[in-house]
Each structure stands twice: as C-alpha cells, then as structure tokens.
Structure 1
Amino acid sequence: MTTNIFAFVVVLGILIFFHELGHFLVARMFGVGVEKFSLGFGPRLFGRTVGLTDYRISAIPLGGYVKMVGDEPDAELAPEMIPYSFTHKHVFKKIMIVAAGPFFNLLLAVIIYTGFFIFIGTEDIRPVVNHVAKESPAAQAGLQTGDLVVAVDGSTVASWSDINRLVADGHGRAVRISAKREDSFFDVSVVPQTKVAKDILGDDAPYYDIGFSGLAPLKAVVGEVADGYPAKKAGMQPGDLIVAIDDQPVDSWNTMKAIISQSHGEPMRLRVVRGEENLSVDIVPVLFSEENVLGEKVDSYRIGISTPGLDIPDADRITIKRGFFEAVAESVDQTYQISRLTLLSIGKLIKGTVSTKTLGGPIMIAEMAGQQAKAGFTNLIFFIAVLSINLAVLNFLPIPVLDGGHLMFFFIEAAIRRPINVRMREIAQQAGIFILILLMIFVFYNDIMRIFSS
C-alpha cells in the first residue's frame, strides 16, 4: 500500500508538473503574467513567491493549475496589468498557451522514449532464421533454418524487428532478402502473403507474412499445472511433452491449444512423453470464462496447463541502442501510435464496443503505479510515458473545463472574430464540470468494484 501511494504521488506529480510547465512557459513567452503555479488543488501547504508568481504545493494531489492574470474574461484589471492579461492577448497566442499543457505531456513521453532508446536500448534477437513454415513464400524461395539475414531490399538489418519493419514497409510487394549460409551470400525474391490478425482492440489488423521467424515454434511442453483443473487430476506434470491428441499429431503449443479449444468439452486422449516414458492421459476439457482487455466475456476450453515460456539462447539475444536522431524519430512514432490507440479506445467506449468496466480512476492508477515501481525503474518510467500520452489525449478532447474545451472556444473566436458570450461559456463550463464529476464517480465505482471482485 505504501509503495502504491508513493508511486502514485511521484507519477502524478511528474505528469502534472510537465503539463502545467507547458502552460507556464508559453504564457511567459507571450508576456502573460502568472499569479499561481500550483501542484495540487485546495489549500496551500507551502511554497515560495518569486516576482508575481506564487509557486505552491496544495493539499489535494489530484491535479494542478496555472492561474494567469486576466484568465477570467469578466475579471476587472488595473490598467497597468492589461498588457499582462491572458484575455487581452491575440486569440492564436491564447490557443498556443492552452495547447502547451497537453503538448508538453506528449513531449514528456518523447523525452522518456528517446532516453530509453539511446541509453538502455531495446531487447531483440539476431536475424537468424530459426523456423521456416512449410509451403510458405520463404520455403518456396529456398530459405532454410540457420540462414542469417543481412539485408532486406538493400537495407542492412541488425535484428528481427528490422526485418519485420522493412517487410511491412513493402506493403505486400516482392522484397529482396539478402542472406548468408555458411560462407556464401545469396539473394532471393519473396512475395509476402497478406494475413489478418486481431489487434489489442479486437479489430482486424492486416499484416504481411513471409513465413519465416527468428523463433522456433513453441513445443507443447507443460510449464505449470493448475490446481483443480483436469490436467492436475489426470496426473500431468511440469516438463511433460504432448505429442498427440486423439492420434492427431501435435507439433507446437499453438496446435495443441487449437485442438483443445475446439473440443467442445468432449473427452480426449493425450499422448505424453515424460523423460523416457510414453504415456496416455485421458482428459475432459472444461469451459473457462474470462474478460479480455476490452472487457468482453471470452469462453474457451482448457485443461489447466501453461507454457514454460520462450527459451531464447543467450547467443541470439541482442540489445539495440539507437543514435539521437533515430531515437527521436522512433520516439515520436511510438508516441503517435499510443495516442492513436487511445483515441480509438475512446471511440469504442462511446460506441459501446469496449466495456466501460475497463475505465479506472486514481485507485487503479495507484495500484498500477505500485506494480510498475516494484517491477523496476524502467517499468515505472514507461508507465509514466504511457499515462502522459493518455493525459494529453484526454485533455485535447473538446469538453468544457478541459484544455480541449478552451481550445474549442478559442477556435470559434478565431472564426467569428469575437469572443464567445461569457454567459454561454459559463453554462458550457458548468456542463463540463457536471460531466467530469459523473465520470469521476463512475471510475471510483469501477475501482472499488475491482477491489472487491479481486
């Protein structure tokens, strides 16, 4: 609990600081006076006044704000303060000041990812072919297990991520694979097959597959056996290798999983190799229900075993570190992809295709922050980056009270060349506050129900 609270305060403090720093710096750049720079809401706990600005820490650590001179349209100002007034600045300056907050949250994510790509790097595997699917484009082109891929369409590759990226960039056209086999180099032309998988939001995601991989198929070896499930009752043990089900050969974990999931709960006989022994095990799969990442109920038949995980030889593991410009480019792309995914998720929540049960509030954020903190500094930093992107996207939504709502008013002001009626803005702000209060109540409810159901 203490770790969760501490991690929550740290994470939220960093996110709020960067957000408000964006508003503050751009406001000062355009000559707007800043009266308060507060981390938190409510009563002032402590702080320091420098010039016009009171830099303070406030009692409620669930947000923050920058109070600018004349940020209320109907505020009365002394004549000497009008040059420092937010309201009296050109509308495009006001747009930039408001947009700077969420923009700085995106910038924070880019900074975090850039530092990670430069100094820590990403784990990958050497571009050695460890599996070629039968009758795949790679097999037809003559590629074999053990081949080292050195280039795709003339671009040098250092890892399997490079291969996947370059094949995807081809958009299905033939690609030239340059490889090394023993001491000789050769080129082959391969036309990828277009296949479709499900992405994290359950949508169809086309991809291009050549039919080779840096990972050998995962064998149907038992990692753990869950208590209370058919496998445990039948006496299966960790390390057992499943080679057939009802006389149907099993060549991989995925093949075994597919056969069991299609069993409809009918009895089946597994042929198992345990050390030097060949055993037959009779099992009746059970129906298992769970929620996926979309909050949808998913039913599947299982016998209660798990995989021991991938076993990648140390010789094939590599760490890729990038130069500054490459790291920045990849960081921007990563930030864009997460922003896009966040927007799509919001759209699916509105449509009802994603369950509202997936929404969480401060309690859930605190739990997740604590988990990431326990997992290590790198995990926590990545969590901050993802949360910062989410905060930016949410703040850009055109909801009154949020930055996006203010931007909406200012864009209208720019279009009609006069400020929107103060009374109209007040009504919109009240509606926005009402919406946010309802949302906060709902996510708190979700958080509480999640605690009691766990």
Structure 2
Amino acid sequence: MSIIIAFLVLSFLVFFHELGHFLIAKAFGVKVEVFSIGFGKKILYKTYKGTQYAISAIPLGGYVKLKGQDDINPLISNEDKDSYTKKSPLKRICILLAGPFFNLLLAFIIYMTLALIGQKTILPIIGEIQQDMPAAKSGLQKEDIILKINGEKIHDWLELNEAVIKTKGPLQIIFQRNTKILQTTLEPKKANSKNIFGEKIERNFIGIVANGDIGLVKYNLRDSIDYAFNQTWKSSKLILQSIEKIFSGVVSVNEVGGVISIVGFISKASQNDLIVLLSLVAIISVNLGVLNLFPIPALDGGQILFNLYEFITRKKISPTSLYYLTIFGWILLLALMGLGVYNDIHRLAIK
C-alpha cells in the first residue's frame, strides 16, 4: 500500500508542475495538445476542447505537449496564432517558469498548512545551563521558556537555535519564568562546530541545552505565512548548496539519489503519519521546482535560457546550435538520472 501511495504522490507532484505550464499556456492562447501524467503508452485518455488528457504507463513523470513545441526535436515550429513558437520570448519564459513556480507554490501551501494545524516539535524550554557560558552569566535558568529573541517569536527549539546562529551582535531574550515575563541581553560566544555537510565552521553558542519536552506547536495565520516562506526558501537554498558541495567534492557523487530513493522515502513516510508525509512531499516539490530551473536544455531552465538569448539579442539561436545543445542536455540529464538509479541499486544491494 505504501508503494502505491508513493507513486500517487509522485504523480500528483508532476501533475501540479504540468498544471502550471498548462494554465499559463492557456492564458496566453497557446493550444495544449496533450496533458499526460506519466510517459510511454497511454493507458487512459480523453479529448476535451482540443486537449488530450492522458494517464500513461510509466508513472515517473509527465508532460504537457504544446502546439509548436517538441522537447525531443527542438527544430519543430508552427506559425499558427495559437502556437507556442508564435508567442513572444517573454510569454514563452512565463509558460516555462510556471511549472517550477507551481512546485514552489505547492511546497509553500503545504508548509503553511502544517504551521496552521500544528506539528510536534521540541519546545524552547531550557533543560541545562552550561557553566562559564553567556547564558549562565545572563541570569537564565533551567525551565525558563524562551519567548522572543531580538523581537522575533520563538515557537520551538529549532527556531531558537537558528536565531542564535544568525545573530551578528547581542541577543535580547524575552523569556517566561513561572508566571513572570522577564528579559535579558547577552553576547553569544564563538566556537568551532560542523555544518550538515561535515565541514568545520565557527558559529554562535550561548550555553543552553533543551530539556527535551515535545509539544504541538501551531502558528497564527500571519506567522504561518512567514514560516511557509522561510521553509520554502531554506529548502531551496539547501538544494543549491548540496549541488555546490557535490561539484566542489565536499559531498560524494555516491550521495546522489534517484527515483528509487524518492519512492522509498515517500513509502516510509506514509507509514508514520500525515505530518511526516506532507513535510517530505513539500521538500520533494521544492526539489522539482529548483532542479527544473537548472540551465540544462532538456529542462525548463535550459529552454528559459534559449528564450532569454532571443529576447536580448532579438534573434533566435541557430538551428544547429539549438539541436546539438538539446542533444547534449538530454545526454546529461539521462546520465544524472542513471547515476541516481545506480546509487539507489547499489545502496539496496549492500543493505
């Protein structure tokens, strides 16, 4: 059952991505010839108002086929009024951007929903004060509840930790002790640590440890919007940093995962609870959105680059260059997908 849920989730993510392309293309008067969830042979299909809606045999992707556009043969064009190639470069860019944007929008909606319904997390309650550290000198005590840091609301221990790390000066802390609301100011201490990539870094510490209490944390409407935006931004930034670390050699290419890993993660998450599953779906949706913006000709980002070139230079890229760049893009994309699948199979084999 969990495997079926995983494929349904992937199909939904693809559907939402392609829905972005579909809606903006329609808004600009481009005829959508096919809207398919999955690749390969069509299992179910129905034509409505000139568009064939289909579910295809391989549920690991999907596509929207626009009139005058062909990802396999980029030299195909159509001069009809309702053709993709007849539209201006800026309109084409908007159509291409819509897919990744919808993935990021979906992640934002999920994060906002999670913030409103509440998530179980570690509460910002101090469990231990370390000696000779800024917190001990500031008057903070065990069982104090941190409410605000430098004017920002603190909902859980993760937000507390992030607020300490990012500050570049003194911390003004508002906290609750029993029924009293108190305030103190302290200067964080720099110390060596490691980031999530295992690199040595210097970061702020104040010398407090969580008491480990778990509670359901909910956000109001305004705070949930901020939370959703920040989570979507942080997830996007982490993806870009991870790719940078792979190219710089900090992270091994063996860590690259493919569709088998994705299905496995979703399958495991679906066995826990809805909150865990939704959190993972949001992360995968951000991945799809960000990675599709990479300047690889087989992806939306590559096509956006071609249209930007046409917009700036006022001339189309030469057919020969377009053809070979597209072929190169597909080879690169298939190689990356192959690497991911190889790593997935290797991980399964050594378990």
TM-score of the alignment, normalized to the shorter chain, above 0.5: yes
Which residue in 2 is equivalent to 1:138? 135
Q: CA deviation at 1:83?
A: 1.6
Within 2, Cα distance between the matches of 1:384 and 1:182? 39
3-state SS of the aligned residue for 1:87? helix
For 2:136, give the aligned amino acid: A
Q: CA deviation at 1:453?
A: 0.7
Which residue in 2 is equivalent to 1:129? 126
3-state SS of the aligned residue for 1:135? coil
Within 2, Cα distance between the matches of 1:166 and 1:74? 52
For the pair 1:13 / 2:11, whether they are aligned, the reply is yes
Specify which of 163, 180, 188 is matched with residue 192 of structure 1. 188
Do the aligned residues in 2 keep the contact of 1:48 with 1:55 (CA within 8 Å)? yes
3-state SS of the aligned residue for 1:83? coil
CA displacement 1:180-217 (0-9 Å, x = unmatched): 556766543311112332121123444322222332xx
**Structure-2 change in CA distance of 1:148 and 1:383 (3 Å):** closer
Range with bigger deviation, 441-450 or 108-117 = 441-450
Within 1, Cα distance between the matches of 2:301 and 2:217? 38
Do the aligned residues in 1 keep the contact of 2:133 with 2:206 (CA within 8 Å)? yes
Gaps of 5+ in 2: none
Q: CA deviation at 1:46?
A: 1.0
Which residue in 2 is equivalent to 1:347? 244
Within 1, Cα distance between the matches of 2:84 and 2:225? 33
Q: CA deviation at 1:116?
A: 0.6
User: How do 1:16-165 and structure 2 match up within 5 A?
Assistant: 16-72=14-70, 74-75=75-76, 77=78, 82-125=80-123, 127-153=124-150, 159-161=156-158, 163-165=160-162
CA displacement 1:84-119 (0-9 Å, x = unmatched): 111111111100101111111111111111111111
Within 1, Cα distance between the matches of 2:21 and 2:9? 19
Which residue in 1 is equivalent to 2:322? 425
3-state SS of the aligned residue for 1:398? coil
Within 1, Cα distance between the matches of 2:283 and 2:155? 27
Which residue in 2 is equivalent to 1:380? 277
Length, aligned pairs only: 348
Within 2, Cα distance between the matches of 1:116 and 1:164? 20
3-state SS of the aligned residue for 1:213? strand
Which residue in 2 is equivalent to 1:243? none
3-state SS of the aligned residue for 1:397? coil
**Structure-2 change in CA distance of 1:138 and 1:99 (3 Å):** same
User: How do 1:316-335 and structure 2 match up within 5 A?
Assistant: 316-335=213-232
Q: TM-score, normalised by structure 1?
A: 0.71
Q: CA deviation at 1:376?
A: 2.2
Which residue in 1 is equivalent to 2:268? 371
Q: CA deviation at 1:142?
A: 2.8
For the pair 1:445 / 2:349, whether they are aligned, the reply is no
For 1:409, give the aligned amino acid: F
Gaps of 5+ in 1: 216-311
Q: CA deviation at 1:451?
A: 1.6
Within 2, Cα distance between the matches of 1:162 and 1:448? 37
Within 2, Cα distance between the matches of 1:25 and 1:75? 22
**Structure-2 change in CA distance of 1:154 and 1:445 (3 Å):** closer
RMSD: 2.3
**Structure-2 change in CA distance of 1:361 and 1:143 (3 Å):** closer
Q: CA deviation at 1:178?
A: 4.0
Within 2, Cα distance between the matches of 1:74 and 1:184? 71
For the pair 1:401 / 2:314, whether they are aligned, the reply is no
**Structure-2 change in CA distance of 1:176 and 1:389 (3 Å):** closer
Q: CA deviation at 1:165?
A: 4.9
CA displacement 1:354-410 (0-9 Å, x = unmatched): 111111222222222211111222222221111111111211111111111101111
**Structure-2 change in CA distance of 1:185 and 1:450 (3 Å):** closer
**Structure-2 change in CA distance of 1:212 and 1:112 (3 Å):** same
Which residue in 2 is equivalent to 1:228? none
**Structure-2 change in CA distance of 1:146 and 1:121 (3 Å):** closer
Q: CA deviation at 1:423?
A: 2.3
3-state SS of the aligned residue for 1:375? coil
Q: Percent identity?
A: 35
Within 1, Cα distance between the matches of 2:293 and 2:303? 9
Q: CA deviation at 1:152?
A: 4.0
Larger proportion of helix: 2
3-state SS of the aligned residue for 2:60? strand
Q: Report the structure number with the largest CA radius of gyration.
A: 1
CA displacement 1:262-288 (0-9 Å, x = unmatched): xxxxxxxxxxxxxxxxxxxxxxxxxxx
3-state SS of the aligned residue for 2:86? coil
Do the aligned residues in 2 keep the contact of 1:34 with 1:68 (CA within 8 Å)? yes
For 2:185, give the aligned amino acid: S
Within 2, Cα distance between the matches of 1:29 and 1:344? 35
Within 1, Cα distance between the matches of 2:180 and 2:228? 37
Q: CA deviation at 1:158?
A: 5.5
Do the aligned residues in 1 keep the contact of 2:118 with 2:219 (CA within 8 Å)? no
Q: CA deviation at 1:154?
A: 5.7
For 1:192, give the aligned amino acid: P
